[in-house]
Amino acid sequence: MRRHVTAYGFLSAALVVFAVFSWWPIVRGVVLSFQQVNFVTSPDWVGWENFERLFADPLFLVAWRNTAYFTILALVIGFGVPFITAVVLNELRHAKAYFRLLVYLPVMLPPVVTALLWKWFYDPGPGLFNSALRGLDLPTSQWLDSSSTSMISLVLVITWANMGSATLIYLAALQTIPGELYEAADLDGASILEKIWHVTIPQTKFVILMLLLLQVVATMQIFTEPFVMTGGGPEESTVTVLLLLYRYAFYYNDFGTASAMSLILFAVLSVFSFLYLEITRKADA
């Protein structure tokens, strides 16, 4: 008996913190989605009105399209690069510490610092990128200033900033592949690409899948980079779901509709979270 009392004493702070800042807000988020909240009078039940308002807002569709586009671009660019980098690094026996240090350095920078730095690099006039392109006699780009390149510019920033973690996690996974598998492939006369396809990828597929799903969940919640670098422009080309949610809550003071929006985002993301859980469970088995 005393053991249980002591245990709950040790657990009490965590229970309070989780209850107030995790469990209760989950319930409250659902409730808020069906309410109108204005801080003056007590909240009113409005049924599906918040959702109807969202679906009537043309920007809602734009935000989802932008977010989907961003997620796909981030998968194409941001997903392949760390894996390939890890495969190359795993072959190198020199300067290992230097490579690891460099690739992880951007991860340590505050995202706002990275965003502001890259905004300066992207300056179409004297910015680093266009200066370098001009120096090489290559065509320059408007980067963030054009609605056709704004999104891909943001993808480059987050790939640069975050690829360190993924690269090092892949590297750790690659080191668990038994050397005999490559030896066997050599005996069969396999080329490097064939070895990657038949040995490297199958041997690391759980890690690949897990990082893929984690990345989808993270990129669909992108906020800091568009908020700091573009504010959603030009021509709303970088308004993401979270940026619109922020506008509803803090520009229009419409917390009900903002909650409805996070409920929808949550529903979409839980598909990916569920897949992630299934895969980790299988990997543990």
Partner 1 sequence: MRTLTKGNGKTYWVVLTLTLVVFTAAFLLPLVWVLLGAFKPPAELARQPPTILPEVWEPGAYVDAWNFMDLGRFFLNTFVVAIGAWAVQMAVIVPAAYALSKLKPWGGNVILGLMLATLMLPATALLIPVYLTLTDLDLLNNPAGIWLPFAANALNVYLLKRFFDQIPEELLEAARIDGAGTWTTLTRIVLPISRPILAVVSIFAVVAAWKDFIWPLLVFPEPAKQTLSVALQRFAPDTPINLLLAGLVLASLPMVALFLAFQRHILAGLTAGGVKG
Q: Would you state the torsion angle of the CA atoms of residues 196, 209, 167, 74, taken in this order, to the nearest 10 degrees? A: 110
**Cα separation, 132 vs 149, whole angstroms:** 18
CB of 90 to partner 1, least distance (A): 6
Q: 239-261: string of b/e by CB count within 10 Å (b at 16+)? A: bbbbbbbbbbbeeeebbbbbbbb
DSSP state of 239: -
Comparing CB distances to partner 1, the nearer of 28 and 65 is 28
Comparing CB distances to partner 1, the nearer of 6 and 148 is 6
Comparing CB distances to partner 1, the nearer of 148 and 266 is 266
CB of 131 to partner 1, least distance (A): 5
CA 38 vs. chain centroid, Å, equals 32
Tell me the Cα Rg of the chain: 23
Q: Which residues contact 148 (CB under 8 A, 6 or more apart)?
A: 237
Comparing CB distances to partner 1, the nearer of 58 and 93 is 93
**Cα separation, 8 vs 14, whole angstroms:** 10
CB of 65 to partner 1, least distance (A): 19
CB of 12 to partner 1, least distance (A): 9
Comparing CB distances to partner 1, the nearer of 151 and 163 is 163
Q: Are 119 and 144 in contact (CB under 8 A)?
A: yes
CB of 87 to partner 1, least distance (A): 7
Comparing CB distances to partner 1, the nearer of 93 and 148 is 93
**Given its phi and psi angles, is residue 233 left (phi above 0), alpha (psi -120 to 50 degrees) or beta?**
beta
CB of 61 to partner 1, least distance (A): 19
